[in-house]
Chains A and B, each alone.
Chain A
Amino acid sequence: MLKYLLKRLGSTVLILFGATLLSFVIMINTGDPLADLREMQSDNVEYLMQERIERMGLDQPWYIRYWDWLSGILGCFGGSCDFGTTMTGAQVTPVIMAAAEQSLRLVFVATIAAIVIGVLTGIVTAMRQYSLLDYLVTFFIFLFWSLPVFWAAVLAKEWLAIRYNDWMMEPHFTWTNILVLATILAIFVPMVLGGNAKRRLITGGIMFAFVCAVLPWMNAVNFMTHPRLGPVIILIGSLMLAAGFTALIAGIRNRRVLYSGLTVVALGMVAYYATWNLLQDPPGGWLFLGAMFVLTIAICVVIGRSMGGHARGQATAVSVLTGALMSGMILLDHFMYHWPGLLSAKPRPVSTIGSHTPTLDENFWVTALDQMTQLWLPSVLMALLSLATYTRYTRSSMLEVQKQDFVRTARAKGVTERTVILKHAFRNAMIPLVTIVAFDFAALISGSIVVEQVFGWNAMGNVFITGMQTNDPAPVMAFILVTGSVAVLFNLLADILYAVLDPRIRV
Chain B
Amino acid sequence: MSNDQTPEQQNTDQDQQMVDLAEVEDTKLEEKSKHSYSQGQLIRRRFFHHKPAIISLIMLGAVIILAFSSIGFGAVPGWWDKHYQATGSIVDGGRPMMFQDGNFLGEHPFGQENVGRDYFAMVMRGAQQSLIVAFVTAVVSSIIGIALGAIAGYFRGWTESIIMRLTDFVIVVPTLVFAAMLGHIAGGSVVMLGVLLGCATWTGMCRLVRAEVLSIREKEYVSAAVAMGASPARIITKHMIPNSIGVIIVNATFAFVTAILLETTLSYLGMGVQRPEVSLGLLIEQYQNAFSTRPWLFWFPGLFIIIIALAGNFIGDGLRDAFDPRQRRSGDSRPSIAGVLGLRGVQRAFRPKSDVGMPAAGGSGGAQLPAGQNDPHGDAKRFGRKK
Tell me which of A128, A416, A465, A484 contacts B367 (CB under 8 A): A128
Q: Mark A63-77, 1 if CB is under 8 A from B, else 0.
A: 000000000000000
A148:B261 contact, CB within 8 angstroms: yes
B313:A445 contact, CB within 8 angstroms: no
Chain A interface main SS type? helix
B184 proximal to A (CB < 8 A): yes
> Given A31-B184, A132-B340, A417-B367: A196 and B362 within 8 A (CB)?
yes
B176 proximal to A (CB < 8 A): yes
Tell me which of B176, B177, B281, B339 contacts A148 (CB under 8 A): B281
Determine how close the nearest CB of chain A comes to the CB of B291; give it in whole angstroms.
6
B181:A26 contact, CB within 8 angstroms: yes
B333 proximal to A (CB < 8 A): yes
Task: A198 to B182: give the CA distance in the assembly, Å.
Answer: 60
- Residue of A at shortest CB range from B181? A26
Tell me which of A26, A131, A450 contacts B268 (CB under 8 A): A450
Stretch at the interface among A13-21, A167-175, A258-266: A13-21
A148:B265 contact, CB within 8 angstroms: yes
Tell me which of A27, A146, A200, A416 contacts B306 (CB under 8 A): A146
> Given A16-B172, A200-B342, A417-B365: A148 and B181 within 8 A (CB)?
no
Task: A158 to B289: give the CA distance in the assembly, Å.
Answer: 11
Q: Mark A475-490, 1 if CB is under 8 A from B, else 0.
A: 0100110011001100
List which B355-370 residues lie within 8 A (CB) of chain A: 360-368, 370
Q: Mark B215-242, 1 if CB is under 8 A from A, else 0.
A: 0000000000000000000000000000
Please count the residue pairs between chain A and chain B whose beta carbons lie under 8 angstroms apart in the complex.
182
> Given A19-B173, A148-B261, A442-B174: A195 and B184 within 8 A (CB)?
no
> Given A148-B284, A204-B342: A418 and B364 within 8 A (CB)?
yes
Determine how close the nearest CB of chain A comes to the CB of B200; give it in whole angstroms.
10
List of A residues within 8 angstroms of B343 by Cβ: 197, 200-201
Q: How many residues of A contact B (CB 8 A)?
A: 69
List of B residues within 8 angstroms of A190 by Cβ: 342
B171:A488 contact, CB within 8 angstroms: yes
Determine how close the nearest CB of chain B comes to the CB of A404; give it in whole angstroms.
11
- Residue of B at shortest CB range from A14? B165
List of A residues within 8 angstroms of B269 by Cβ: 449-450, 453, 465
List which A3-38 residues lie within 8 A (CB) of chain B: 14-16, 18-19, 22-23, 26-27, 30-31
Task: A148 to B260: give the CA distance in the assembly, Å.
Answer: 9
List of B residues within 8 angstroms of A236 by Cβ: none
A106 proximal to B (CB < 8 A): no
Task: A123 to B362: give the CA distance in the assembly, Å.
Answer: 19
Task: A26 to B178: give the CA distance in the assembly, Å.
Answer: 9
B133 proximal to A (CB < 8 A): no
List of A residues within 8 angstroms of B360 by Cβ: 417
A210 proximal to B (CB < 8 A): no
A56 proximal to B (CB < 8 A): no
List of A residues within 8 angstroms of B67 by Cβ: none
A480:B177 contact, CB within 8 angstroms: yes
B184:A468 contact, CB within 8 angstroms: yes
List of B residues within 8 angstroms of A148 by Cβ: 261, 264-265, 268, 281, 284, 302, 305-306, 309
A131:B371 contact, CB within 8 angstroms: yes
List which A131-152 residues lie within 8 A (CB) of chain B: 131-132, 135, 142-143, 145-151
A363 proximal to B (CB < 8 A): no
Task: A468 to B269: give the CA distance in the assembly, Å.
Answer: 11
Task: A199 to B362: give the CA distance in the assembly, Å.
Answer: 9
Task: A505 to B76: give the CA distance in the assembly, Å.
Answer: 60
B265:A150 contact, CB within 8 angstroms: yes
A130 proximal to B (CB < 8 A): yes
Task: A194 to B360: give the CA distance in the assembly, Å.
Answer: 13
A417:B368 contact, CB within 8 angstroms: yes
List of B residues within 8 angstroms of A14 by Cβ: 165
Q: Mark B362-387, 1 if CB is under 8 A from A, else 0.
A: 11111110111000000000000010
List of A residues within 8 angstroms of B346 by Cβ: 197
Determine how close the nearest CB of chain B comes to the CB of A435; give it in whole angstroms.
11
A19:B271 contact, CB within 8 angstroms: no
Q: Mark B154-183, 1 if CB is under 8 A from A, else 0.
A: 000000000001001111111111101110
22 pairs, CB–CB < 8 Å, chain A vs chain B: A18-B165, A19-B168, A19-B169, A19-B172, A23-B181, A26-B182, A130-B331, A131-B339, A132-B340, A148-B305, A158-B292, A195-B363, A197-B342, A197-B344, A417-B363, A442-B170, A446-B174, A449-B174, A450-B269, A464-B177, A465-B271, A476-B177
A-binding residues in B (CB < 8 A): 165, 168-178, 180-182, 184-185, 257, 261, 264-265, 268-271, 281, 284-285, 288, 291-292, 298, 302, 305-306, 309-310, 312-314, 317, 329, 331-333, 335, 339-346, 348-350, 360-368, 370-372, 386
B-binding residues in A (CB < 8 A): 14-16, 18-19, 22-23, 26-27, 30-31, 127-132, 135, 142-143, 145-151, 154, 158, 187, 190-191, 194-201, 204, 402-403, 408, 416-418, 438-439, 442-443, 445-446, 449-450, 453, 464-465, 468-469, 471, 476, 479-480, 483-484, 487-488, 491
